[in-house]
Amino acid sequence: IMHVIPISCLTDNYAYIINDDVSKKVGVVDPSEASPIISYLKKQNLKLDYILNTHHHYDHIGGNIELKKLYNAKVIGFVGDKHRIPGIDITLEDNVKWIFGKSSVKILHIPGHTLGHICFFFENEKIAFTGDTLFSLGCGRIFEGDHQQMLTSLNKMKKLPKNTKIYCGHEYSYKNAEFCMKYDNDNIDLKKKFEKIKQLRSNNLPTLPTTLEEELKSNIFLRCNQNDLKVKLNMKNQEDYKVFRKVRDLKDSF
């Protein structure tokens, strides 16, 4: 069994410790800082084998070097970012399979937020680490890529199995829900999801993982191809790309 443990870092980041019961392999995804990771590993008496980075931003790689030194862990990242990911040992390309313990991990290149952003998709477990590309009820800001790249990347994510668990890089769900509600307020699935998020956050619990199925129904950024949303935005018959661009611009100024 694969255990995924969210570790709160910085103000609203999550790193994820992945612990495979069978192979006893332990990894961490996007450690922005080392100390909370070390303290969890110590408590559980675990050693770290791998550091997986979705992209090069500091709040996803800040703990790399310290963790690598302490545990002699291997750093994994996208081949195109090898000059930007500190301590990188294993470089992976789009669509390749990488093996973590007994698990097959498919690498999906999903540029937009950054040019070298990837998703780690654990195929048998149906678990995806989406970094800052797909959030619960949101998508990442476009820093290095363009809107077309981000839309293409999100469409790639939409093709994963519906029951995929989505683990993203930040606790943004509440604010994202408020934005979705502003423009998609009669969406029954969204309303239900917002209630669940309110409940979790009022108890200071993570809103993650979400599932792809929930996101397809409630995440406005995944609904830019849906006619009902186009009508709500006064963009009936407009191309999906134009709708996406409009929604992303609205969110940037929200």
- Give CA 97 to chain center in angstroms: 19
Q: Catalytic: which of 20, 30, 55, 109? A: 55
Q: CA–CA separation, 219 vs 181, rounded Å?
A: 10
Residue tagged active-site, from 30, 59, 81, 184: 59
Please report where in the chains the tokens 């996406």 appear, as a residue: 244
**Among the residues of 55-187, which ranges form H helices?**
58-61, 64-71, 147-158, 173-183
SS3 at position 60: helix
DSSP state of 73: P
Q: Is 55 annotated as catalytic? A: yes
Residues found in the chain: 254
Which of the residues 20, 49, 81, 113 is marked catalytic? Answer: 113
Retrieve residue 170's tokens: 């930040």
Cβ neighbours of 219 (radius 10 Å): 28
Look up 147 and say whether it is catalytic: no
Q: Considering the candidates 56, 60, 109, 117, report the single residue annotated as catalytic.
A: 60
- Residue 151's SS3 state is helix
Which of the following is catalytic: 20, 49, 81, 132? 132
170 is catalytic: yes
Told to judge if 113 belongs to the known catalytic residues of this protein, a careful annotator would answer yes
Write down the catalytic residue from 57, 81, 117, 184. 57
Among 56, 109, 117, 170, the active-site one is: 170
Q: Does the annotation mark 20 as catalytic?
A: no
Which sequence positions are flagged as catalytic? 55, 57, 59-60, 113, 132, 170
